[in-house]
Structure 1
Amino acid sequence: MKLFKKETKKNKETHSLPMGKKSRRIFVVYAAMVLTLCCGATTAFAAGDPLTVINNLSEFIFGLIRAGGMILLGFGIVQIGLSLKSHDPSQRANGFLTLAEGVVITFAKEILTLITG
């Protein structure tokens, strides 16, 4: 028993969407800026000491982790604010947990240096 009929067309035609002169120019400028910022601006300089390279990579990775922690901090604050407005205790608990996670992730490098000495 077939529930759905599969229609097949032999001659499917595709048409590009019309793009005006102004929108095409804006798209070209946008694409050029993205390529310039992403591809042209990334220059890697080799350091003489391999330990310096590892330290720079570590700083970069911890910077990314810190950015994620800051996002979680902001989201936790928003959740707490919304829970206070709606008087929802479960959302308030989730907000405080998200806030605590954001603090731990934001200060992960400092916590690790305190643990290792």
Structure 2
Amino acid sequence: MTNRDRNIFTALKKNRRLAVIFITYMVLVIAGTIFCSTCFAAGDPISVVNNLSNFIFSLIRAIGLILLGLGIMQVGLSLKSHDPSQRANGFLTLAGGIIITFTKEILNLIVG
């Protein structure tokens, strides 16, 4: 476990309200992703592949939203503790979460 991970977990251990909010956020993102996108089988193989692709991209979007929430939490904690290295890690996590969240749109722009 890296020093950055220890900082997040110690902050969550110290601030129970923050931990409850973050865990609730993660559960809502995962539940919304799983229950809102369904993958139906059809007679046409192309539609089956498209449905599976939409399902996989919705799971990737859920992971991106979780990373986005984690990055926001890291930046907030770094502003509170005046830790520049944690702030940099928070902005990197935030940027990665944004990129992962919009992966499907980015790939559609590349492919055309």
Q: TM-score normalised to the size of structure 2?
A: 0.64
Cα 1:105–1:45 shift into 2, 3 Å: closer
2:57 corresponds to 1:68: no
Q: Could you list the per-position Cα deviations for residues 30-85 of structure 1 after superposition, in whole angstroms to 9, with x for gaps in the alignment? A: xxxxxxxxxxxxxx854121000000000000000000000000000000000000
Unaligned runs of 5+ in 1: 1-43
Tell me which amino acid in the other structure corresponds to 1:116: V
2:96 corresponds to 1:101: yes
Tell me which amino acid in the other structure corresponds to 1:82: L
Unaligned runs of 5+ in 2: 1-38
Aligned counterparts, 1:10-89, within 5 A:
46-89=41-84
In angstroms, what is the RMSD of aligned CA positions?
1.2
CA distance in structure 1 between the aligned counterparts of 2:62 and 2:97, rounded to whole angstroms: 10
Structure index of larger Rg: 1
Q: How many residues align?
A: 74
Secondary structure of 1:65's aligned partner: helix
Q: Could you list the per-position Cα deviations for residues 13-42 of structure 1 after superposition, in whole angstroms to 9, with x for gaps in the alignment? A: xxxxxxxxxxxxxxxxxxxxxxxxxxxxxx
Say which of 78, 96, 114 aligns to 2:109.
114
CA contact (8 A) 2:40 2:51 kept: no
Cα 1:58–1:89 shift into 2, 3 Å: same
User: Sequence identity of aligned pairs in percent?
Assistant: 77
Tell me which amino acid in the other structure corresponds to 1:107: F
Tell me which amino acid in the other structure corresponds to 1:111: I
Question: Which structure carries more helix by proportion?
Answer: 2
Q: TM-score normalised to the size of structure 1?
A: 0.61
